[in-house]
A and B are shown apart, each in its own frame.
Chain A
């Protein structure tokens, strides 16, 4: 992104004001100068500020951006790589709290983001139901609604963890996850409107993108109680990248099954064995067998400050990070500053919600000596986030998905923070 390209210069603004005045409008009340811009020194107390505007934007001083990405090992960025990017990563190192701004929510799509007119979009429910039904988006929006804050994580998040450690930051390593408040209709409300037949045990969810992405969802009690068909994200309509106008949300399950641009739900007695749950999104083990329908995202955590590629000064720092579990609430997060020899409990920021990012913090005074920062999540089932060594011992290094090992950030004596395996 080029600096300054989006800024209105003082001269342009003056010209704009002058031209509007010449047209005889009330433009004389326009401020003569834009609010302070990078590189300019205007005393904000001595000039009027900007007027209200229809849709807000962040301060021109803020540059947090998603990072374009491709497959494992591919360099991340937007330049020459851009045509090969199939995902974008959230700048976790720059964010506060647990909610990801919608503009910074990670993306993964399999043949681009479709442009969908909601007035033409339909959701079909058929298969093992009593009455196949077609819903408009407006129909769905009229049904009883619910909201929930939940994380979404691509099952390929941290997939470089299976390989050699790269000298990259937390956006590269862990940026394929985000948290939003989602609003929509319970899946059960829609399916029960159509009448679920007794033999229905699985549901095919299909998107109306150019990949026709489709996944089989098991109709377990957990799914029936928690899954939603969403139209809202952080208080407004879904972003196109997140499935506008309708998406499936199965809290705690891998990102790919949360089908976006949802157009069809088909109930069946067995899984549909789509390409996405056979050739992809299955976890190959050292014995040549692959875990299938490995849907839940297991407990995991990462320190977002200090993190890779940052440089810190000796003295006080508040270690801060995110922890989450697809099986429920985070019970505890422990932090080590010596590579896992000693652990201390971090403070958990409320709210601590099931299947949601939880912010943790721990005050720390860096002496200037080498340190290795780690965090370890324990969820309400008692599951403890494993070390990388324990994970690799069981699963080898070829399973691609569902890496949830403890992340290590080494602080060198010059204050540089590096991604290492410890």
Chain B
């Protein structure tokens, strides 16, 4: 969805509020640059915030086997937890399969989610190289990149996800 459509759909406030309102309580203190850097972990859909480092499909296969396959299966399709691979062209069928390849709209947010929440039993334990690598392997398994592509802060935002245009702004109430 476009940002404009989103803003319209959500009926955003047209006027910014004064910075002075409510500022007089003297509570809270100014955050330091260092604090913000340590806490500001989100990676945006266009790749804002991606760290230095890089990863390859080959390294990713090893990381996945060691850290991910127990929950997602050896090829990312077997489970028992979320299926990550396949499912393309199933979204209009009675049994849609939502995966990275079939449903996930922005490649850089793979980095965001894997970094913040995976592995389930040890979140935030993977190095940037491990995360870039496992992202590369997942994109390759889903036939989105070639095997030789190196994934880093420059290449990841350029990856087009198959379902990038699969989302529309909330049209509800839609049932009369």
Contacts and interface: CB of A to CB of B under 8 A. Distances in A.
Interface of A: 110-111, 124-126, 130-135, 139-140, 142-144, 188-201, 204, 206, 210-212, 214, 218-222, 224, 263-264, 266, 268-275, 278-279, 282, 284, 286-296, 298, 383, 386, 390-391, 393-395, 397-398, 402
Contact of A218 (B10, B92, B105): B10
B27 A196 contact: no
Nearest to B4: A270
B66 interface: no
Nearest to B104: A279
A193 B22 contact: yes
Interface stretch (B29-37, B56-64, B68-76, B129-137): B29-37
Interface residues of B, number: 61
A219 B6 contact: no
B94 A211 contact: no
Nearest to B106: A273
B11 to A, nearest CB: 5
B123 interface: yes
A386 B45 CA distance: 36
A134 B172 CA distance: 37
Nearest to B9: A293
Contact of B6 (A221, A293, A397): A293
Nearest to A287: B92
A210 B125 CA distance: 11
B175 to A, nearest CB: 5
Contact of A188 (B17, B20, B123, B173): B17
A107 B39 CA distance: 26
Contacts of B112: 274-275
Interface string B60-99: 0000000000000000000000000000000110111010
Given A189-B22, A211-B123, A221-B13, 5 more contacts: A124-B39, A201-B12, A284-B91, A293-B169, A298-B173
A220 B12 contact: yes
A417 to B, nearest CB: 27
B103 interface: yes
Given A192-B18, A293-B170, A274 B13 contact: no
Nearest to A192: B22
A292 B169 contact: yes
Contact of B103 (A110, A268, A279): A279
B103 to A, nearest CB: 6
Contacts of A269: 3
Contacts of B167: 278, 282, 289-292
B123 A193 contact: no
A292 to B, nearest CB: 4
Given A111-B120, A134-B35, A273-B44, A291 B171 contact: yes
A121 B109 CA distance: 26
B117 interface: yes
B31 A264 contact: no
A219 B42 contact: no
Nearest to A130: B19
Contacts, number: 193
Contact of B16 (A197, A210, A264, A270): A197
Residue in B17, B27, B92, B169 with the greatest tally of chain A CB atoms within 10 Å = B27
B138 to A, nearest CB: 12
A415 B10 CA distance: 47
Contact of A273 (B45, B171, B176): B45
A190 B28 CA distance: 9
Residue in A111, A132, A139, A214 with the greatest tally of chain B CB atoms within 10 Å = A132
B11 A124 contact: no
Contact of B116 (A134, A212, A268): A212
A294 B92 contact: no
11 contacts: A126-B31, A134-B28, A134-B29, A144-B25, A193-B22, A195-B23, A212-B41, A273-B44, A273-B109, A290-B103, A291-B170
Residue in B18, B113, B172 with the greatest tally of chain A CB atoms within 10 Å = B172
Contact of A212 (B27, B29, B123): B123
A384 to B, nearest CB: 8
Contacts of A393: 175
A210 B109 CA distance: 17
Contacts of A197: 16, 19
A211 B170 CA distance: 26
A292 B167 CA distance: 6
Given A220-B12, A292-B1, A293-B9, A266 B40 contact: yes
Contact of A284 (B22, B98, B174): B98
A302 to B, nearest CB: 18
Contacts of B13: 219-221, 224
A193 B169 contact: no
A295 B170 contact: yes
Given A133-B31, A220-B13, A290 B42 contact: no
Given A124-B35, A291-B172, A391-B175, A139 B109 contact: no
A309 to B, nearest CB: 29
B109 A192 contact: no
